[in-house]
Amino acid sequence: MDMRKIVILILILMMIIAGSIFLWWSSQGITGKTVEEFQYSYTKAICNESNFCQDYQIVCKNNEVISQTPITGAVLQQASDWKDPRDEERINGFCNVSLKV
C-alpha cells in the first residue's frame, strides 16, 4: 500500500470512531424516566348564564390550573336561546379534560 491509501484509511477509521463516540454521547441524555412535570396551555371559551362567552388562555401543570387569562377582544354574546354544544366535561372541566376530538 502506498502512503496516500494508508492516510485515507486512517482518516476513515478516525471518522468512524469519532461518529461512534458522538452517537453514544448524544444518546446519554435519554433516560427513559417518565415526565414528572407536564405543563401545557390551551384556549377555552367560558360562558356565563346570559350566554356571554369570553375566551381564556388556560395554563395547566400536572392537571392543575396555574393561570387563567382572558384574551382581549375574544368575546361573543350568544342569543338567549343558544345552547352550548360542548359536553359537560368540556364546559366545566379544565386541565383534566380528555383529549378526544
pLDDT tens sequence across 81-94: 999 999 998 898 88
pLDDT of residue 59: 93
pTM here?
Answer: 0.59
pLDDT, the chain, mean: 84
Task: Note whether 51 and 78 are within 8 A (CB).
Answer: yes
Give the burial class of 43: count Cβ atoms within 10 A of its Cβ; 0-12 exposed, 13-18 middle, 19 or more buried: exposed
Lowest average pLDDT, out of 6-15, 23-32, 76-85, goes to: 23-32
Rg from Cα positions in the chain: 28
pLDDT at residue 30 greater than cutoff 60: no
Closest CA to 86 of 60, 71, 78: 78
